[in-house]
Structure 1
């Protein structure tokens, strides 16, 4: 008898996944329209604006898809590894879901009515309807409520098992929710105290520098909120899928702690070209940004150590003999592995973006968009798809059939090909100076626009292939949720290798890690933030638009 997520907790998790895949369908369609418009050979019907579909694409895929999928996956993960949710925690989880859904609906309606065409970053001086900002607030608050349910179950497990390390997957989920809660304090602050009063007419102006700083306090750790669930699958799920074992529980926990510490106080590296922030503080945060390379390399080492140990156990010899022993025909492994490989060039691009000198070359060009599509839309999303292939049938009482498994691999290859073409073109034309968000057909320099035509066409071709990949994943999801044969699909949880060292309890001493996190944030932001307020233009009272 397989260990299963309780059916009541499964319904909670699936409610989040249904919402996530609806967002994928709508956001994917908007993305297709977007790249077609960028090609200069397609005009949107019914007076739909280019920036309107750009906002739909960014908000639905960058915020809605990811947040709902992650929270649904983490509810299921904690229920599976730490035990069935208590009634109060489950109710809290449902309240969080409905609050998030309400907020998503409010924001979506305003975008569709063209009252919130402000992109997913919603920078001032672009202004949206107050209902859009209130909807975003509900999404954040709802996620906090869902996170409270997870944290309550984690605390309960610790009380029931004193002196023991918590289940690894539960620990990772809690780290990710702590990261999310701390990071979203920034976006909640700018929305509640700046943008919402501004859109309601309660104040006339906002301080753009403070607004952008608060956004990027949230915006960079948002990347790791997306990425860490993929790391959960890579560390804990994939070893079980391939028949191996987790290389080191301690190393996995330490890497997640380091991501928590070094992913939040680094927002200034997104603001390297902005005045009003002293260069010394930018340098500090760039340095902290590069510290994230350490847990990334730890993860790569751990994963490939797991793969090699498995291959050697199957008789592999030579330096790369183990590579042939991996289960390439299993979509639960193959699809996330493609995501892992994509993270190599994605990580390299991230180092360029965070480097002061090289950032000057690519800043605000479509290179950044290409990087974004390698990290989130390839490494993270393909891993999410790989999770869905076993999680959805597990939660719905069905099985992943051989036909769906083969189609899942086809889907991943389709996605990888489309993304390679589209993202590759974005990187290349970005180096030529193509703007990040503008439609090329409206760009002022006619000769440059002509030079960019081949890259525009390549983006349209890649985007079209990607849309075919979205159709395939939606078909697979619907099949696994409603039509696949009834049965029991495993929720794979890896075991730690026998020779691994015992995990020290200091890794779960939250007093230490939260104190260090708080100190890093205060050091990185207190003085720069005070200087922004102190040096605001005369008479602005903190609400100056400049």
Structure 2
């Protein structure tokens, strides 16, 4: 009962003191994420240069090797490490962490690091240029798949620690509702665990035996279905930590309070329900999947619009209520007086705005007829950069401005705050140019996952080349933003003045309605989630196994979505 006895007064307020031993753990995960940002950003810069038609990679480096590094290290390594570090910091602040739990968290970290090194080595040696989706029948060195499996296993251990943290807290506080941020972390970790069961099954049962030579063939459609069972909820695993900051941290930064604890919890539960059983909307052009089940999963995909709109309503209600309480009048007086000069607010707010066109693009991608227009084009790449690389990353940067100095016992100085605002603007400009060019070029039919800068002939080629040059310009601006962000990270970690930076967690309204107790019924939420998954996947998956030959290849290979 070590945790139950720790800092009782602080626990009653939901605000524990993060000790130095904990800070070192959390910072280790976050540091790996920023190293990944620098390496992955460089790979992205090389890609847009090559696609511009004006640059050739030196030393015999293969374009698809660079593309694989970019996707794996940014889409998987950066996000997973930052999110786990952020999760641990939220749990440590709200429910605490015991010595045994901290040791297990370190075990998770080192397993993930070893796995990351194995995977990176295979890619850098040119033995795993299979992109971050690693579609069969492209085959990588076994170390690539073994490394991925280790990263997943390490993340599971970290998730079990998070669940144990909440369980111990609940045992010590049997009649209290769990802290909101701890509840959110539990939901996101649960989503990650259920989703990664698919990719873990593909890697352990299909890819590793196949790459080692124990199996001569691989069922391509099964492997792709298992990947996209994981691949779509992966997007929400990236997104929900940003939502945690929007719901429970941004209100504190702007001097307000949490709009609705119940609404925040309900939105996260709905994301858990509707983010997993929808992978077929990434496989709409593939044969071998019954169109009826594609339609059902597309319908389930659109259900995530509900918690997204709930979040938008909650956030802007918080902004307006806070402004009115401060005395700002007029129709948009509250908006004018938001803390635009505070990078902790500005960066996440830009991310919120970017999610509006990003969400609209997601609706297009998931719509059967409209998806046929953009499928396999660079439009999809532009969409990912608008959502994950803008909405999620800018929110992660906003979190870093207060989390890193808090963990390091330093302060966010006015100079670093101004530098952060410049970085957010640079990032926004660069991403707008690059992602916008990708969207337009995709509508013109330019393929994704290709190093070729010229297709077709005549006016089409000239038009594509113009947008590819725009991508190179936008990518260059983005890389400047990456360098600046890494510089800020180093300053906040090692050189900023010593001090106490606030860990901002919003409080509830004093007269807020009591949160219903059923939100703590984890058996109910897990049961509904499993039921939805079984409903959406059991029959079509059995049909795939029974009717697709082991070595079959979908017709849109090799650049299928």
- From 83, 90, 104, the equivalent of 1:92 is 104
Question: Partner residue of 2:165?
Answer: 153
What are the equivalent positions in structure 2 for 1:194-343 lying under 5 Å apart?
A: 194-343=206-355
Query: Contact between 1:353 and 1:359, CA under 8 Å: does it hold in 2?
Result: yes
Query: Contact between 2:115 and 2:148, CA under 8 Å: does it hold in 1?
Result: yes
Distance in 1 separating the partners of 2:453 and 2:187: 44
Query: Contact between 2:453 and 2:465, CA under 8 Å: does it hold in 1?
Result: no
Question: Partner residue of 1:67?
Answer: 80
- From 46, 61, 71, the equivalent of 1:48 is 61
Aligned residues: 541
Q: CA deviation at 1:324?
A: 1.2
Question: Partner residue of 2:175?
Answer: 163
Question: Partner residue of 2:128?
Answer: 116
Q: CA deviation at 1:450?
A: 2.6
Deviations 1:496-535 (A, max 9, x none): 1234321011011011111100100000000000001111
- From 359, 362, 365, the equivalent of 1:347 is 359
1:37 aligns with 2:50: yes
Q: TM-score, normalised by structure 2?
A: 0.95
Deviations 1:428-473 (A, max 9, x none): 0100000011123364656533320110010000000000000100
Query: Contact between 1:3 and 1:491, CA under 8 Å: does it hold in 2?
Result: no
Question: Partner residue of 1:489?
Answer: 501
Deviations 1:42-86 (A, max 9, x none): 000000011111111100000000000000011011000112x11
Q: Structure 1 runs of 4+ off > 2 angstroms?
A: 1-4, 440-451, 543-546
Distance in 1 separating the partners of 2:99 and 2:337: 44
Q: Which structure 1 residue ranges, 5 or more long, are not aligned?
A: none
Query: Contact between 2:288 and 2:548, CA under 8 Å: does it hold in 1?
Result: no
Which segment is superposed worse, 417-426 or 314-323?
314-323
Distance in 2 separating the partners of 1:447 and 1:267: 37
SS in 1 for 2:284: coil
Distance in 2 separating the partners of 1:313 and 1:4: 30
**RMSD across aligned positions (CA):** 1.2
Q: TM-score, normalised by structure 1?
A: 0.98
Deviations 1:355-393 (A, max 9, x none): 111101100100000000010000000000000000000
Q: CA deviation at 1:30?
A: 0.3
Q: CA deviation at 1:536?
A: 2.2
Deviations 1:18-55 (A, max 9, x none): 10000000000000000000000000000001111111
Question: Partner residue of 1:174?
Answer: 186
Deviations 1:184-215 (A, max 9, x none): 00000101111111100000111110000000
Distance in 2 separating the partners of 1:62 and 1:279: 30
Query: Contact between 1:314 and 1:325, CA under 8 Å: does it hold in 2?
Result: no
- From 530, 542, 549, the equivalent of 1:518 is 530
SS in 2 for 1:327: coil
Query: Contact between 1:4 and 1:491, CA under 8 Å: does it hold in 2?
Result: no
Query: Contact between 2:16 and 2:95, CA under 8 Å: does it hold in 1?
Result: no
1:533 aligns with 2:536: no
1:361 aligns with 2:370: no
Query: Contact between 1:186 and 1:218, CA under 8 Å: does it hold in 2?
Result: yes
- From 28, 41, 44, the equivalent of 2:41 is 28
Deviations 1:380-409 (A, max 9, x none): 000000000000000011100000000000
Query: Contact between 1:258 and 1:295, CA under 8 Å: does it hold in 2?
Result: yes
1:16 aligns with 2:29: yes
Q: CA deviation at 1:163?
A: 2.0
Q: CA deviation at 1:160?
A: 0.7
Deviations 1:328-367 (A, max 9, x none): 1111111110101100000000000001111011001000
Query: Contact between 1:206 and 1:545, CA under 8 Å: does it hold in 2?
Result: no
SS in 2 for 1:440: coil
Question: Partner residue of 1:432?
Answer: 444
Query: Contact between 1:6 and 1:79, CA under 8 Å: does it hold in 2?
Result: no
Distance in 1 separating the partners of 2:552 and 2:455: 30
Distance in 2 separating the partners of 1:212 and 1:197: 17
- The 1:518–1:492 alpha-carbon spacing in structure 2 relative to 1, beyond 3 Å, is same
Distance in 1 separating the partners of 2:462 and 2:287: 33
Question: Partner residue of 2:3?
Answer: none
Distance in 1 separating the partners of 2:427 and 2:441: 21
- From 464, 467, 474, the equivalent of 1:452 is 464
